[in-house]
Amino acid sequence: MDPNLKARFQHVAHHLVAQSYLQNPNKSNGPARSGKMFSLGWRKGYEDDTTLATTGIAEKVSQDRLGYEDLQTHVPTVDTFLAERFQNLSQPLYEEVKEQFLTLNAPGLAPYFEENTDGFTCHLSFTLGNFSNASHTDHDASPYTFVTWLPINEKTGNLIEDKLEVTGGQFVFPRNGFGIDFTGFCGVVECAWKATFYHHLTLPSTSSPLSFHTRLGYSCQLPQKTHNALQRIQNGFYDKPE
């Protein structure tokens, strides 16, 4: 791999691992069986009358407020890189996802609510700790989902370039009879598909004893509730009367 490209993947891995320390794992992911899921970007608030918010646990953020603020300044760099990788994989699918994004006047992943005409997503989910889940289809609004897996040391966020100590974890489309077998492969895997239509799952995986090796998986999609909130913002639903 080109050293510059590898460095950019490394930056994403370090960044997402750092973001995970400021959050609690998502407990509402129904299909999840093991591992941990986190998020970056914007989601609908839990209360009915709230709009959108970024993820962060106040108690954890308060322990290093300056570190948190510095970390967020690097989000646009991650945002730009993800867009480049999706375009490199499939320009037509990227354009369809971006068209939806622009129609909603959506913000990027960064924690300031500003329309981002250079972006394509306002939300990213990422998984650590030998994540696995049951067969399911997503209930998101995205026409396509862009996914990447990186072999990393979960403690440091460093990429693993040789002898990944993880067994299993294949990504399977059970109703279509095929999937992605990571066996013997220690590199970057990218794919995009209509996750709301095709059933998919991640099989269980195990790491060697005392090893921090895992696969970092991250996927870009627009949650349906976030989509609805963006439409309501456009329609003035949350505007307070003067």
Tell me: the pLDDT tens digits for 34-47? 999 999 999 887 76
Token pair of 242 as six digits: 């003067």
Q: Tell me, what amino acid is at 213?
A: H
- Mean pLDDT, rounded, for 5-9: 97
Query: Higher confidence at residue 92 or residue 233?
Result: 92
Q: Is 161 helix (H, G, I), strand (E, B) or coil?
A: coil
Percent of the chain with pLDDT over 90: 74
**85 phi and psi, to 5 degrees?**
-70, -40
Confidence of residue 140 (pLDDT cuts 50, 70, 90): very high
Dihedral angle computed from the Cα positions of residues 89, 95, 98 and 100, in that order, rounded to the nearest 10 degrees: -130
| Residue 169 confidence (pLDDT) | 95
CA distance 201 to 29: 13
**65 phi and psi, to 5 degrees?**
-60, -45
Confidence of residue 242 (pLDDT cuts 50, 70, 90): low
Per the listing, tokens 């009367």 go with 241
| Residue 48 confidence (pLDDT) | 67
Tell me: the pLDDT tens digits for 77-107? 999 999 999 999 999 999 999 999 999 999 9
pLDDT of residue 30 exceeding 80, the answer is no
pLDDT of residue 184 exceeding 90, the answer is no
| Residue 43 confidence (pLDDT) | 87
pLDDT of residue 29 exceeding 90, the answer is no
Tell me: the pLDDT tens digits for 152-172? 999 999 999 989 999 999 999
| Residue 205 confidence (pLDDT) | 95
Tell me: the pLDDT tens digits for 53-79? 887 788 898 998 999 999 999 999 999
Among left, alpha and beta (phi > 0; psi -120 to 50; other), residue 129 is left
- Lowest-pLDDT choice from 111-125, 136-150, 174-188, 208-222: 111-125
User: Are 61 and 162 spatial neighbours (Cβ–Cβ below 8 Å)?
Assistant: no
Which pTM does this prediction carry?
0.93
| Residue 45 confidence (pLDDT) | 75
Q: Which domains does the chain have, with CATH numbers?
A: 3-234 (2.60.120)
| Residue 52 confidence (pLDDT) | 86
